[in-house]
Amino acid sequence: MQTLLDDGQIEQLLAALADDILADPTFHSPEAPVALVGIRSRGELLAQRLAVKLADRKKHVGPIDVGALDITLYRDDLASRRAITIPQGTELNFAIDDRPIILVDDVLETGRSVRAALDALVDFGRPRLIRLAVLIDRGSREFPIAADYVGLHVTEINAQQKITVRLKPTDSEDGVYLQ
């Protein structure tokens, strides 16, 4: 297993993502404050960390709501999965109607998880717009989905290699690995 990113590098990428988001004029409206929604489970952790980075920069207008989206029942491979997946539940303690939403995930590869997340998200309301922020973009799309904010592009790997993201407190460490 090869280390792609250590904990410090992950924090640097999150800071860069926060700067990219703050540079986007779309998210500077007090009438419709931005909300971050992380795809369970590691996208949720990244969304929480990204919200802290945004708040620390004090350029952001309005509160930063953070939620978690469970896409288990929206996946197109649910019936073909060998292991039974138990939904963890969605936590959106705020209205998403007419708000800009940043959907956050750890790795963007085929686009299938993001497609499922979009389906799940619009079941909770009608956002003004949805943008996608990912820590790692590894290419290999099967759906026409692109991230608006990317921490790191990793495209020089073969299809058999897997990128694994580990984040505290779910995991014992922070790191991104190539297997």
Residue 113 lies in domain:
2-25+32-178
Residue 26: the pLDDT is: 78
Q: Which residue has the higher pLDDT, 119 or 62?
A: 119
Query: Residue 6 has which token pair?
Result: 């250590």
Residue 80: the pLDDT is: 56
Residue 78: the pLDDT is: 55
Neighbouring C-beta atoms of residue 117, cutoff 10 Å: 26
Instruction: Domain count for the chain, please give it.
Output: 1
Report residue 21: phi and psi, to 5°.
-65, -45
**What percent of the chain is predicted at pLDDT more than 70?**
89
Across the chain, mean pLDDT equals 89
> Which CATH number do you get for residue 134?
3.40.50.2020
pLDDT tens digits for range 72-94: 888 766 555 555 566 677 889 99
- Percent helix, strand and coil across the chain, each to the nearest 5: 25, 25, 45
Q: Contact, 106 vs 117, CB < 8 A? A: no
pLDDT tens digits for range 2-17: 999 999 999 999 999 9
Residues 22-61: b if buried by 16+ CB within 10 A, e if exposed: beeeebeeeebbbbbbbbbebbbbbbbbbbebbeeeeebe
Nearest to 110 by CA among 163, 149, 38: 163
pLDDT tens digits for range 31-46: 778 899 999 989 999 9
Residue 112: the pLDDT is: 92
Residue 130: the pLDDT is: 96
Length of the chain: 179
pLDDT tens digits for range 152-178: 999 888 888 999 999 999 999 999 999
